Structure 1
């Protein structure tokens, strides 16, 4: 009987020690200075039998923002930072006017990739499952504006965010996969120039 109680106590303590919290996930995702890699985005529209697929690369720099570099089906570069969203055209980076909830959605996207739980908890109920290597975070909207756009957002990953699924209220959804991300301590010269403009 004593052995059984000891075993149960050890299992309970081990389970508590291995619990993975929202704060630990935030620290894990916020640790790298720069994260970059390829992405595939699929937009599933109710009216279309196959998803609209786009591909490209991203650069997430903790101190600067996000570069979203589409290569297919069209080539188009975007930058999301404290100034808002900018699109590159032949004359350089042009800040786009924010429309409706667009600015809030962009800040949300940035918060998701950085693992900024404080920002996310302002607008969502967060439910985390798993451990540091394999986790899933479900976001359920709290704010009225986000409830009008999303029914829920599911994010999963390991060392970095690997998959984001946005379920929209009208029945459409977006799936974003970033499965080969790497980290670095520095931006390239070209990336620094892009964030500086």
Structure 2
């Protein structure tokens, strides 16, 4: 899943505490958000990166949707445990997230962050948070050996309670970088 991120930043004060719990408490106050994304995938077997763009939607507590508009329409919708993938030709496939630990680990990197769910993020990842509330970077390393066979690390960066960038480094060396901009609507 190429991830979601959203806007809806909560005003901050310079003297406020800073740490994972503080950052996630800000995310927990956001009921929904929308954003636009641009994603670049570097795949070892290809000579040029793959680029796509579209929209992202989040609704508390567990709805995520990634709608790719370019280069062709595709969709990824997560509702609870159900992941629906829709291809350009309109064909859909429904999967159970919990039945696929490598997908669940990836899904929870985004969903737990947007929900502000510290226990879940800590269950799936070793977390290293650095920076400040106005320019933070969270490095996630999967705890489960099975997940590490697919994803080496995920780095989520943002400002306040807004995710601006998600980088996924796969175990095979492939990489994706998603840049996220708040939807002006």
TM-score (norm 1): 0.73
Counterpart in 1 of 2:9?
none
Aligned residues: 166
Counterpart in 2 of 1:58?
56
Counterpart in 2 of 1:170?
172
Structure with more contact order per residue of length (Cα contacts < 8 Å, sep ≥ 6): 2
Unaligned ranges ≥5, structure 1? 1-16, 184-197
Counterpart in 1 of 2:155?
154
Counterpart-to-counterpart distance in 2, 1:181 and 1:132:
21
Q: Over aligned residues, Cα RMSD in angstroms? A: 2.6
Counterpart-to-counterpart distance in 1, 2:113 and 2:36:
17
Note if contact 2:36-2:182 (Cα within 8 Å) is conserved in structure 1: yes
Unaligned ranges ≥5, structure 2? 1-14
Structure with bigger strand share is 2
Q: Any idea what the Cα deviations from partners look like across 1:109-133, whole Å, max 9, x if unmatched?
A: 3224434322111121111112211
Aligned-residue offset at 1:39: 0.7
Counterpart-to-counterpart distance in 2, 1:151 and 1:142:
10
Note if contact 2:24-2:113 (Cα within 8 Å) is conserved in structure 1: no
Runs of 4+ in structure 1 off by over 6 angstroms are: none
Structure with higher Rg: it is: 1
Counterpart-to-counterpart distance in 1, 2:108 and 2:23:
19
Structure with bigger helix share is 1
Counterpart-to-counterpart distance in 2, 1:146 and 1:104:
7
